[in-house]
Amino acid sequence: MAQRNSTRASGQTEKTSVTCATRPLMADIIAQRISRRQALGGIAASSILSLTTTKPAFGQARSSLNFTEIAHGYDTDFHVPEEHKPQILIRWGDPLFPDAPAFDPLRQTASAQSRQFGYNNDFVAFLPLPHPTGRADHGLLCVNHEFTNANLMFPDIGNDQDRAMLSAEQVNTEMAAHGHSIVEVRQRGGNWETVLDSPFNRRITALETEMNMTGPAAGHARLKTAADPEGRKVIGTLNNCAGGVTPWGTVLIAEENFHAYFAGDPDKTAQAENHKKYGMRGKPRFQWGRFHERFDLEKTPNEPNRFGWIVEVDPYNPRHIPQKHTALGRFKHEGATTAIAPDGRVVVYSGDDERFEYLYRFISDGRYDSEKRSQNMRLLQSGTLSVARFNEDGSLQWLPLVWGEGPLTPENGFASQADILIETRRAADLLGATPMDRPEDVETNPVSGSVFLMLTNNTRRQADATHPANPRARNRHGHILELIPPGGAGRGADHAAATYQWEILLMAGNPDETADGARYHAGISPHGWLSNPDNCAFDHRGRLWIATDGAPKSGFADGLWACDVEGPGRALTRHFLRTPRGAELCGPCFTPDDRSLFVAVQHPGAEAGSDFHNPSTRWPDFSPEMPPRPAIVAVTAGGQPIGNPHIG
């Protein structure tokens, strides 16, 4: 565990910011891109005292958040500040229906898993019931299940190499544990509970849920397979990472690392470059291709083209057929965050989470009309996809990916817009987009209208390839950018503008380690620093809540940190929550009144030497009969706003 025991001089945070001493021009540019608001807000002014307590002290006078900060740590349990109460709401294997089988970890089946909460919960959305004017204590919880950890899931699988021993039933159980869960939840007597006999409850899986393709690539020859000669229907969704909620009350589910599911040698297909561009190498992590030909790209070379999309689901209609929207492009979508432009067009931001990949923005052709829900549900079928270029002067340009424009022509292998959408990465390369340090979640500040981008890390960035928006070589800790559309605050922000401004909110890492090049508000406590920002959320007062995936490499558990992004507490991150060992934290999601926070604890116990029989934690059951279970935790604060339990 990293601890600070010495007094630090005023202004040290400023001095540790420059990552590339051999490039003073770069340093100057970075300094300019650290917000002027930040400098005025205290980075240069605060002095840091040594500290051994975690009671409210450091920087609290400057932060709008007044919870008692927790300490960095690493143990088997889940921790929140003392004024807050965590409650396990639903775990992997818990029934979603009255007739669902009870969870039996020693006798798992695909049919049982299809009626139970899936594995590795990631994105979480809360949609109030009834729609659209529901309450904050009753709604639908919509949860992604990103992937499975076979050696923590099954008793006879010891490590990743043992995946080759998975039976057909186990593979099908994995497929049924992927996807999405929709479950009705309500709060009674201060506690949250699931409603098992709800007509809304639903499992969406990689095994058997039928989906439609929409948009310019739907029906294209490269989407057709023997099982789907029309190229318009796909079974399943997978590696569902983060997501988003639309203004019309549907959920957007991102398909991220789809390459990990496809066996077969891409060089034996006619689309070798396409498949290799997305990471397919013939050695997939998952063994589904042994039992399902569609996950063997030598046998079904178009099947990978049917994954890597944004999927829209209507949780208020349990018979809704999920829609894979090709207009939003095909890449390793981390998530999908929606905004409305001043003229009513719908904007969706999405990062491609891989080293040196890009940030994208989709703008619908049609306009949102709050009175016309069924019409709104077609808005993501047509529009313009763009990719971001960050300029050194602090401006950002959105470069449209439009067939026939610039290099996006038949001479470069693009016969139509469908080709551009199927091979989005290659098209974006040709436009000169800015390679980023793994774009993860994107969220829009509901108060300021600014857009915040999490960049989790990129240890492969070389010193001669740094850029002001990705300024660190071997970026181990990640950073957060603020993208500022023109047009003013909140709903005045023009999310359809061709040019934005950008600034650095913070550079993650240890502010006491000069080599880290970390940048935060100077009032940060010894526990306020973080590493590897991944998911994030804004509360309704516009404070940013940052979830991490990778902090254990720095000696403490992943968790949640919160900060103001405006005013004197800007970038003053404070540690709010930490996960049990081996886990990452996903899906922070607030109820509309900010009185409840749902978080997803993903892959607890996933670390070297830990398996089903001897896991490093048995959270949340702590029963010798039960392996660790990914679970959703509901956090409350005695009826007070999360993060502000102390009134006044």
Which residues form the interface with Ca ion (CB under 5 A)? Answer: 241, 534, 549
494 touches, from ligand FEO, Ca ion, none (C-beta below 5 to 8 Å by class): none
Residue (144 or 300) nearer to ligand FEO, CB: 144
Residue 503 binding partner per list ligand FEO, Ca ion, none, with a CB distance cut-off of 5 to 8 Å that depends on partner kind: none
- Please report, as residue ranges, which positions from 420 to 439 form the binding site for ligand FEO (by CB under 6 A): none
Span between the terminal Cα atoms of the chain, in Å: 33
Closer residue to ligand FEO in complex, CB, 316/331: 331
| Least distance to Ca ion, CB of residue 308, Å | 15
- Binding to ligand FEO (CB under 6 A) within 223-242 occurs at 241
Q: Considering the rule CB under 6 A, would residue 334 count as an interface residue with ligand FEO?
A: yes
Q: According to CB under 6 A, which one of 228, 314, 353, 437 is a site residue for ligand FEO? A: 353
Return the number of the residue (241 or 551) whose C-beta is nearest Ca ion.
241
Query: Residue 9: helix, strand or coil by DSSP?
Result: coil
Q: Which two tokens stand for residue 318?
A: 């349990």
Instruction: State in angstroms the smallest separation of the CB of 595 from ligand FEO.
Output: 28
Tokens of 574: 């404070």
Q: Nearer Cβ to ligand FEO, position 238 or 377?
A: 238
With CB under 5 to 8 Å by kind, the binding choice for 94 among ligand FEO, Ca ion, none is none
Q: Which residue is at the shortest CB distance from Ca ion?
A: 549
Q: Is 109 left (phi over 0), alpha (psi -120 to 50) or beta?
A: beta
CB of 67 vs Ca ion, minimal distance in Å: 24
**Residue 174 interacts with, from Ca ion, ligand FEO, none (CB under 5-8 Å by kind):** none
Shortest Å, Cβ 529 to ligand FEO: 21
Comparing CB distances to ligand FEO, the nearer of 241 and 583 is 241
Of 441, 532, 557, nearest to 479 by C-alpha is 532
Q: Which is nearer to ligand FEO, 148 or 596 (CB)?
A: 148
Nearest distance, CB of residue 332 and Ca ion, angstroms: 10
Residue 340 and residue 495 in contact, taking contact as beta carbons nearer than 8 Å: yes
Q: Should residue 354 be labelled a site residue for ligand FEO when binding is judged by CB under 6 A?
A: no
Chosen from ligand FEO, Ca ion, none, partner binding at 507 (C-beta under 5 to 8 Å by type): none
Omega before 284 cis (within 30°)?
Answer: no
346 DSSP assignment: E
Shortest Å, Cβ 602 to ligand FEO = 9
**Measured from the CB atom, is 241 or 327 closer to Ca ion?**
241
* 141 Cα distance to chain centroid: 16
Taking the least distance from each CB to ligand FEO, the nearer of 480 and 522 is: 480
- Work out how close the CB of 586 gets to Ca ion at its nearest, in angstroms, rounded to a whole number: 6
CB of 147 to ligand FEO, least distance (A): 8
- Closer of 92 and 414 to ligand FEO (Cβ): 92
How far apart are alpha carbons 399 and 198 in whole angstroms?
45
Whichever of 170 and 240 has its CB closer to ligand FEO, that residue is 240
Q: Which is nearer to Ca ion, 241 or 557 (CB)?
A: 241
The residue from 69, 137, 228, 256 that contacts ligand FEO (CB under 6 A) is 256
Rank residues 192 and 307 by Cβ distance to ligand FEO and give the closer one: 307
Distance, in Å, from the CA atom of 595 to the CA atom of 590, rounded to the nearest integer, reads 7
CA–CA distance, 276 with 294 (Å, rounded to integer)? 17
Binding to ligand FEO (CB under 6 A): which residues in 64-93? Answer: none
- Per the CB < 8 A criterion, the answer to whether 355 and 366 are in contact is no
Q: Tell me how far apart the alpha carbons of residues 209 and 242 are, in angstroms, rounded to a whole number.
A: 19
Per-position x/- string for 122-161, each x denoting binding to ligand FEO as judged by CB under 6 A, each - no binding: ------------------------x---------------
Partners of residue 635 on adjacent β-strands: 86, 597
Site for ligand FEO in 437-456 (CB under 6 A): 440
Q: Which does 256 bind (CB under 5 to 8 A by kind): Ca ion, ligand FEO, none?
A: ligand FEO
Q: How far is the CB of 146 from Ca ion (least distance, A)?
A: 8
Contact partners, residue 31, CB within 8 Å, separation at least 6: 17, 18
Residue 473 to residue 21: CA distance in whole angstroms: 11
Least distance in angstroms from the C-beta of 122 to Ca ion: 6
Tokens 């400098």 identify what position?
39
How many chain residues are in contact with ligand FEO, going by CB under 6 A? Answer: 7
Q: What is the per-residue binding string for ligand FEO in 537-576, x denoting contact by CB under 6 A?
A: ----------------------------------------
Q: Give the nearest distance from C-beta 256 to ligand FEO in angstroms.
A: 5
Told to check if 536 binds ligand FEO by CB under 6 A, we report: no
Burial label for 138, CB within 10 Å (0-12, 13-18, 19+), is middle
Q: E strands of 159-276, at which residues?
A: 179-188, 191-194, 202-204, 210-214, 233-235, 240-245, 251-255
Nearest to 505 by CA among 466, 452, 467, 541: 452
Question: Of all residues in the chain, what percent are helix, strand and coil, respectively (each to 5)?
Answer: 20, 30, 55
- Residue 7's contacts (CB-CB under 8 Å, 6 or more residues apart) are 48, 49, 50
**Smallest distance, ligand FEO to C-beta of residue 69, A:** 26
Question: 467 - beta bridge partners?
Answer: 470
By beta-carbon proximity to ligand FEO, the closer residue of 469 and 547 is 547
Q: Cβ of residue 333: shortest distance to ligand FEO, in angstroms?
A: 9
Q: Which is nearer to Ca ion, 243 or 301 (CB)?
A: 243
Q: Burial letters for 461-494: b for 16+ Cβ neighbours within 10 Å, e otherwise?
A: beeeebbbbbbbbebbbbbbbbbbbebeeeeebb
Interatomic CA distance for residues 559 and 557, integer angstroms: 6
* Structural contact between residues 314 and 323, judged by C-beta atoms closer than 8 angstroms: no
CB of 310 to ligand FEO, least distance (A): 14
Check: CB of residue 596 under 8 Å from CB of residue 97: no
What residue 293 binds from ligand FEO, Ca ion, none (CB within 5 to 8 A, per partner kind)? none
User: How many other C-beta atoms can be found within 10 angstroms of the C-beta atom of residue 131?
Assistant: 15
DSSP 646: S
Partner touching 146 among ligand FEO, Ca ion, none, CB below 5 to 8 Å by kind: ligand FEO
With CB cut-offs between 5 and 8 Å by kind, which of ligand FEO, Ca ion, none does residue 314 bind?
Answer: none
Tell me which of Ca ion, ligand FEO, none is bound by residue 312, counting a contact when its beta carbon lies within the kind-specific cut-off of 5 to 8 angstroms: none
What's the per-residue H, E or C state across 560-623?
EEEEECCHHHECCCEEEEECCCCCEEEEEEECCCCCEEEEEEECCCCCCCCCCCCCCCCCCCCC
Closest distance to Ca ion from the beta carbon of 241 (Å): 5
Residues forming contacts to ligand FEO in the complex (CB under 6 A) are 146, 241, 256, 334, 353, 440, 534
